[in-house]
């Protein structure tokens, strides 16, 4: 399996592949992210990471926190919550600097304190019964806070493991509200990297062989993108009125030199593929 990372900032005029990971097909996506994120952070200074649901989970949360990277998943692992009732993601949770929840606000706007349970295994929040009894969400049966047999307050109880899941769902909703999915472009990048190979199948097997071809193919993808970017810049310069002819000549010469370099890389890459194929056939 091959895992790719690429830039997706909408302000960038040029998006490039920044990381290639190759691993056996039984490695979990969260493990790939945990292993690759520190190096990716060091080289690129990434602050926001868009992933699909397979890369989100409790095992990767400590690495994200350590690298100070915000993850925005496009999906959540596990069963989807009931759309007809509220869950913890519908509440606004305020935490202290050490990460412990302090206050919580319900969808109706009531804010109360969050306290740890007697056994310190869960958190609980008691809402004012006079407000909850007149709340339309309670009458509709959508609110998870309920009074007890000996307790008038409407109590909401949740476990610490539910907090990061709720935060991921909130980030998903915020992204979906914007109407854009920056992660979708990586699907096209996967096709770009596989396209040079017949039937999108590699002519080699084994970790070393697959890594060699995938890194080389990703490098060629970046080279093509850089060349197309420079060509667009060159055409833009040529179309500008009053542009100095000397600057135009330098731009054309620079682009031509780069194109010679691209041709050399393509020939080298084709030779590498043929060499690996011949080795495999032998």
Q: State residue 168's pLDDT score.
A: 75
Rounded distance between C-alpha atoms, residue 62 and residue 37, angstroms: 11
Look at residue 242 in the predicted model and tell me its pLDDT.
Answer: 58
CB pairs under 8 A, 24+ apart, for 147-151? 151/126
Sequence-separated (6 or more) residues with CB below 8 Å from residue 106: 91, 127, 137, 143, 145, 156
User: Considering just the CA atoms, what is the radius of gyration of the chain in Å?
Assistant: 26
Ramachandran sector of residue 54 (left: φ over 0; alpha: ψ -120 to 50; beta: rest): alpha
Q: Which two tokens stand for residue 51?
A: 């992933």
pLDDT one digit per residue (tens) for the chain, 282 residues: 899 999 988 888 899 999 999 999 899 998 999 999 999 999 999 998 888 878 887 788 889 889 999 888 776 665 666 777 888 888 888 888 777 888 899 988 989 888 887 777 889 889 998 899 889 888 888 888 888 888 888 988 888 888 877 877 777 766 655 556 777 788 889 888 988 888 878 888 899 999 999 999 999 999 999 999 998 888 887 777 555 655 555 555 555 666 666 677 777 677 666 655 555 454
pLDDT number for residue 224: 92
pLDDT tens-digit profile of 15-28? 999 999 999 989 99
**With b meaning 16 or more CB within 10 Å and e meaning fewer, what string describes 79-97?**
eebeeeebebbbbebeeee
Long-range contacts of 26-29 (CB under 8 A, 24+ apart): 27/1, 28/54, 29/3, 29/54, 29/55
- For 84-93, the pLDDT digits (tens) are 788 888 888 8
The torsion angles phi and psi of 187, rounded to 5 degrees, stand at -65, -40
- Where does residue 167 rank: exposed (0-12), middle (13-18), buried (19+ CB within 10 A)? middle
- Euclidean distance between CA atoms 196 and 202, whole angstroms: 9
Angle, helices 245-281 vs 207-239, to 10°: value is 160
**pLDDT at position 243:** 59
- pLDDT at position 263, please? 72
Q: Please state, in angstroms and rounded to a whole number, the distance separating the CA atoms of residues 219 and 224.
A: 9
């Amino acid at each position: 399996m091959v895992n790719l990372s690429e830039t997706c900032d909408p302000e960038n005029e040029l998006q490039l592949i920044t990381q290639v990971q190759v691993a056996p097909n039984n490695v979990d996506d969260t493990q790939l992210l945990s292993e690759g994120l520190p190096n990716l952070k060091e080289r690129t200074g990434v602050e926001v990471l868009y992933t699909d649901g397979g890369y989100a989970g409790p095992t990767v949360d400590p690495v994200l926190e350590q690298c100070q990277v915000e993850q925005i998943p496009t999906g959540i692992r596990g069963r989807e919550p009931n759309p007809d009732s509220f869950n913890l993601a519908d509440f606004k949770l305020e935490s202290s600097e050490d990460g412990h929840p302090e206050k919580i606000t319900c969808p109706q706007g009531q804010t109360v304190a969050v306290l740890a349970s007697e056994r310190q295994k869960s958190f609980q929040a008691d809402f004012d019964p006079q407000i909850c009894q007149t709340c339309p969400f309670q009458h509709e049966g959508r609110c998870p806070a309920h009074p007890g047999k000996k307790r008038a307050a409407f109590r909401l109880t949740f476990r610490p493991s539910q907090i990061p899941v709720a935060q991921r769902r909130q980030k998903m909703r915020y992204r979906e509200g914007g109407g854009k999915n920056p992660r979708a472009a990586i699907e096209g990048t996967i096709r770009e990297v596989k396209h040079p190979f017949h039937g999108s199948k590699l002519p080699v097997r084994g970790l070393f062989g697959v890594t060699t071809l995938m890194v080389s193919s990703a490098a060629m993808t970046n080279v093509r993108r850089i060349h197309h970017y420079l060509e667009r810049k060159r055409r833009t310069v040529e179309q500008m009125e009053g542009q100095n002819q000397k600057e135009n000549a330098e731009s054309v010469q620079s682009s031509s030199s780069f194109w010679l370099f691209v041709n050399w890389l393509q020939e080298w890459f084709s030779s590498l593929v043929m060499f690996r194929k011949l080795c495999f056939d032998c």
